[in-house]
Chains A and B, each alone.
Chain A
């Protein structure tokens, strides 16, 4: 034992212990409120039913009839996600342009925006908050009542929520990108939109594309979830198979699902390499 160590206690020790204990004490009510009881997973009855369901996963369903059906449903899911994201871009791009502060000519001159410009920018930001604060599932439930069951509700739901998310993050990417090039173009008399095209866009292109493909991946996942409330695609099929406890069908769909996300990842990597 080292005799000198005992005489040099770490002054931070008590603080760390206290902070940890307080954090645990604060966490406890949250666990109670969320009814977190993981031991339920381990009681004999749950284990038996889990085992029964998981055992039916192997082998995955692979009859020709089922596969044609699932390929069509997968294609519909991809279509919902892509169409939804395209519509979202149509909404997000104009809102991004309104919300991006670094394109303000008046801020360049005196360090402040003109009041009118500031009001428009704030309004665009609030609209983006409103659009993305309602989850796509909730939009889908609302839209299913308006346009009826089917993919249209899914497409519109994705378009609404994702235009809010894309607009916010695009504006942030553009604002955090190198401002020097855009400012120089503005100082030399270019228009705002043109300065964006020639200054900020080439600087931020890779980040924008990367985020867009990530959102496309999320849209595929989102459209599956919306299938459960009747918005079509592979999600609706998965809901049916789940209800019939057809584990082999569920496992086939999960495999397709993993493959879809992996493909989206490949597309993203490819695009970023081209732009990097």
Chain B
């Protein structure tokens, strides 16, 4: 079992200890090793918070939570940090310093396994450029190996961040919206590479996605989040239009709600 959550509550990152409002409320979820799950839901539903919680980046407020059978918040500081090396969290904005070279940025995925001396030496002479090359090649970025990150386009940076995931040897991949800067074809390819990689090393893959069709087309299990609660957690075949409509209700229509009082039409002239 890679993740086990039992009515877990999580506070907002900036909230005070006594704050009543929760970013996640009463979330129960169990994920077996090697499972591939898509997280869907409207903006602000708590998808990112859930991924951060699973990555031990966010402390849980209450409930039972285990990763690979251990409770991370019962561990000591150092053991918990060692546990983080077995998880890979890929944030929505690729975390690449603009002045770094792509090879260094990709090999940063190996940092948890390297000691300080190895990490320092790799800054001067990349330790395993071949690994970075092969990871980039899976996203057709191999000729950017020695380019600087700030010379890449937004979509290239995003795939460069995914290449970092490929060189890590994490047992669970937590990917936050891997396709926000990609066109549909590239998005599909990127997702395919992620899924192959997860299957290949029997890693658990949790992926938050804005696009429902992409989630339904690629993932066997779909978890819908709304207002910090799990709305549904079902195999993809069981997802109905009514469930999706309920999940996203008011989120898009909010601005054009027919119920709202008619807003006087104001024309601005320049």
Contact = CB atoms under 8 A, between A and B. Distances in A.
Interface string A182-203: 0111011111011101110011
A275 B86 CA distance: 34
A275 B100 CA distance: 10
A188 B170 CA distance: 9
Contacts of A203: 97-99
A203 B97 CA distance: 6
B104 interface: yes
Contacts of B170: 188
Nearest to A200: B97
10 cross-chain pairs, A with B, having the tightest CB-CB distances, nearest first: A189-B85, A184-B95, A189-B84, A189-B112, A202-B97, A190-B111, A202-B100, A181-B95, A187-B57, A194-B119
B55 interface: yes
Nearest to A177: B97
A188 B84 contact: yes
Interface string B31-57: 000000000000000000000100111
Indicate the member of B57, B87, B104 with the most A CB atoms within 10 Å: B57
A185 B95 contact: yes
A9 interface: no
Nearest to B73: A109
A187 B116 contact: no
Given A184-B89, A188-B89, A197-B120, A106 B97 contact: no
A109 B91 contact: no
A197 B119 contact: yes
Nearest to B86: A189
Interface of B: 13-14, 52, 55-59, 77, 81-89, 91, 93, 95-100, 104, 108-109, 111-112, 114, 116, 119-120, 123, 168, 170
Nearest to B101: A202
Given A184-B91, A194-B119, A197-B120, A275 B57 contact: no
Interface of A: 105-106, 108-111, 114, 178, 180-181, 183-185, 187-191, 193-195, 197-199, 202-203, 205-206, 275
Contact of A198 (B57, B111, B168): B111
Given A180-B91, A190-B112, A203-B98, 9 more contacts: A105-B77, A108-B57, A180-B95, A185-B111, A188-B168, A189-B81, A193-B116, A194-B111, A198-B119
B165 to A, nearest CB: 9
Contacts of B59: 109-110
B77 A206 contact: no
Contacts of B95: 180-181, 183-185, 199
Nearest to B72: A109
Given A109-B56, A109-B57, A110-B59, A189 B97 contact: no
A105 B99 contact: no
A187 B84 contact: yes
Contact of A205 (B14, B99, B109): B99
Nearest to A203: B97
A106 B168 CA distance: 23
8 contacts: A114-B77, A178-B97, A184-B91, A188-B84, A189-B83, A189-B85, A195-B111, A202-B99
